[in-house]
Amino acid sequence: MISVKGLTKKFGSLEVLKGIDAEISKGDVICVIGPSGSGKSTFLRCLNLLEKPDGGTIIFEGDDLTSKNIDLNVHRRKMGMVFQQFNLFPHMTVLRNLTCAPVMLKKADKETAEAKAMDLLSRIGLAEKANVFPDKLSGGQKQRVAICRALCMEPDVMLFDEPTSALDPEMVGEVLDVMKALAGEGMTMVVVTHEMGFAREVSNRVLFLDEGVIMEEGTPDEIFGAPKCERLQSFLAKVL
Amino acid sequence: MQEWIAKLNETFIESGYYKFMLEGLGNTVIITLGALLIGVIIGTLIAVVKYFAEDSKIMKPLAALCDVYVTVIRGIPVVVLLLIFYFIILTSAEGILVAVITFGINSGAYMAELIRSGLGAVDKGQMEAGRSLGMSKMQAMRKIVLPQAIRYILPAIGNEMIALLKETSVAGYVAVVDLTRAGNLTRNNTHDAVNPLMVVAVTYLLIVVVLSRLLKILERRLSGNDKR
Ligand SMILES: Nc1ncnc2c1ncn2[C@@H]1O[C@H](COP(=O)(O)OP(=O)(O)OP(=O)(O)O)[C@@H](O)[C@H]1O
Ligand SMILES: [Mg+2]
């Protein structure tokens, strides 16, 4: 579904990604782990071109997103993104947060979008919050709404950038549960996370990113059970 | 006191000059509001161009052009601009139209900076969230960023309006009868040296005081219920 080849990215003279290759297939749940500053967010943000790569290609459903003559907006509609800081739209109600993009981009008419949104909200138990503004929600509720907002566009893949890092510990679980359910439904997901438990339990492949390259990659059992490279071993020793 | 009231009556009412003064006030209001509208439009356009120019190569030359505009306008006294527009550029237009356009163009240059900092005050993640859903830059600007920037921008526009109101008092240079000029002509023709200008001054003062109060209320509202 997504095929990344030789991806490089620099910020000024700082080389953050130094040639990343990754293959993401339909139904994959891929967790990206690694030390702070290793380029995990940058890698994820390159996937939907929120950061413009300096080199390499990103083939998404057959189209090279890095080529010039491509309508990124159309492709982004098929890639949902969930941010560490939620980034809900504070000037819109929860319901409008969900329906705003599908209606504006003519993916659905207002009634259909609202029905879909209410369905998503009731599945996470937040239907009664449909008409409140985001500032009235707890962090965990905000992040679950943010996930629904992305889902409302019916994306083919969901990108998560540390979705639970800004949450109070007691709210991490409710967000991870929604993500697990999503994975269970077969959604393709790329998740940057520090939640090793989630990576172990839910993902089918783990990428260890360090110093701008994927140092090691494998199934959760391989990565957590028998880490090969030394940097991964010392990283895991620190976080587990 | 009685004497003074009699004098006022003579200068403004009996002479019929009160109508003239009202007309002047009307023109001052028209110029201020018209210029404000043009200023907001120009200012928004420039602000949006400069906002996007930060990470778009295509916008860079346009942004450079905007910089030239802002520099030129800010470097020239508004009276001189007014004369240039009246005598050189818009020679066949009426004074009041020239005044609206000139003050609008002038105020646009100042407004651009105000609006830009308002846009800058909105968290970058908002634009990214919009883009990640597939909105174009303009769509995300219109629906996501601008509506949130308004609460930073509105108070600044209010201040600009107050400054603009007072600035328009030089409109008389291009044969517009605004409040100031109406007062001055009344002074000339009635041989009352004091009251016409006093009335003019007090009228400006009153409008400014009222506007400032409204602005205070607006500001309190905007910061009070944060998310509307
Ligand atoms: N817009 C930017 N401009 C300049 N440098 C940046 C920018 N974004 C990220 N960087 C730098 O790139 C490096 C990688 O950042 P990135 O956010 O991808 O790391 P990360 O692995 O997500 O870290 P964390 O776990 O802390 O989120 C860091 O050194 C960071 O300072
Ligand atoms: Mg990060």
> Does A79 contact chain B (CB < 8 Å)?
yes
A74 touches chain B (CB under 8 A): yes
pLDDT at B227: 47
Q: Is A90 helix (H, G, I), strand (E, B) or coil?
A: coil
What pLDDT is stored for residue B225 in this prediction?
52
Q: Confirm whether B49 is domain-assigned.
A: yes
Confidence label for B48 from pLDDT (cuts 50, 70 and 90): very high
pTM assigned to the model: 0.88
**What tokens were used for B125?**
């993640």
Interface of B with A in 103-132 (CB under 8 A): 123, 125-126, 128-132
Name the residue with tokens 């509105």.
B154
What are the respective helix, strand and coil percentages of chain B, to the nearest 5?
85, 0, 15
**CA torsion through residues A29, A30, A36, A42, sign:** negative
Q: Which of B54, B127, B133 has the highest number of chain A CBs within 10 A, making it the mutation to test binding with A?
A: B133
- Residue A36 Cα to ligand 2 middle (Å): 7
Give the count of domains, chain B: 1
- Are B55 and A45 spatial neighbours (Cβ–Cβ below 8 Å)? no
**Percentage of chain A surpassing pLDDT 70?**
100
Average of pLDDT values for B106-132?
95
List of chain A residues whose C-beta atoms are within 8 Å of the C-beta of residue B228: 91, 133
Measure A34 CA to ligand 1 centroid, in angstroms: 12
Longest dimension (CA), chain A: 55
Q: Check pLDDT > 50 for residue B218.
A: yes
Distance A161 CA to ligand 1 centre (A): 12
User: Domain containing B203 — which CATH number?
Assistant: 1.10.3720.10
Alpha-carbon dihedral A145, A147, A152, A157, rounded to 10 degrees: 180
Condensed to tens digits (0 to 9), the pLDDT of residues A7-31 reads: 999 999 999 999 999 999 999 999 9
Bridge-based pairing of strands A63-64 and A55-60 is antiparallel
Element (H, E) at A70: none
The reply to whether B228 falls in a domain is: no
- How many CB atoms lie under 10 A from the CB of residue B214? 11
Average pLDDT over residues A86-93: 96
For B30, the domain range is 2-223
Interface size, chain A vs chain B, as Cβ–Cβ contacts under 8 Å: 67
| Edge-to-edge order in the sheet of strand A188-192 | A79-82, A157-161, A188-192, A29-33, A205-210, A213-218
Q: Nearest CA to CA, how far is A173 from chain B (Å)? A: 23
| Element holding B159 (H helix, E strand) | helix B146-167
* Residue A163 to chain B, least CA–CA distance (Å): 14
Residue B204 has pLDDT above 60, yes or no: yes
By Cβ distance, the residue of A50, A73, A150 closest to B135 is A73
Question: What pLDDT is stored for residue B224 in this prediction?
Answer: 62
B57 within a domain of the structure (yes/no): yes
Going by the DSSP 8-state scheme, the letter that residue A189 receives in this structure is E
Q: Which of A87, A91, A135 faces B128 most closely, judged by CB atoms?
A: A87
Select from A76, A83, A88 the Cβ nearest to the Cβ of B134. A76
A104: contact with B, CB 8 A cutoff: yes
With a cut of 0.85, is the ipTM above it?
yes
Quick check: A85 and B125 in contact, CB under 8 A?
yes
- Contact of B132 with B201, CB cutoff 8 Å: no
How far apart, in whole angstroms, are the C-alpha atoms of residue A7 and residue B84? 56
Segment B141-154 mean pLDDT: 94
Q: Which of A143-157, B54-68, B88-102, B161-175 has the lowest mean pLDDT?
A: B54-68
Q: Mean pLDDT over all residues of chain A?
A: 95
Flag whether residue A100 sits within 8 Å of chain B, measured between CB atoms: yes
Does A98 reach chain B within 8 Å, measured CB to CB? no
Q: What's the rounded mean pLDDT across residues B151-155? A: 91
Question: Parallel, antiparallel, or unpaired: how do β-strands A188-192 and A157-161 relate?
Answer: parallel
Q: Is the model's pLDDT at B193 over the cut of 90?
A: no
Query: Would you state the pLDDT for residue B1?
Result: 85
List strands edge to edge, sheet with A63-64.
A14-24, A2-11, A55-60, A63-64
pLDDT of residue B228: 44
pLDDT, tens only, A99-120? 999 999 988 999 999 999 999 9
In this predicted structure, the answer to whether residue A62 has a pLDDT above a threshold of 80 is yes
Residues with CB under 5 Å of ion ligand 2 are A 41
Residue B216: CB atoms within 10 A of its CB come to: 12
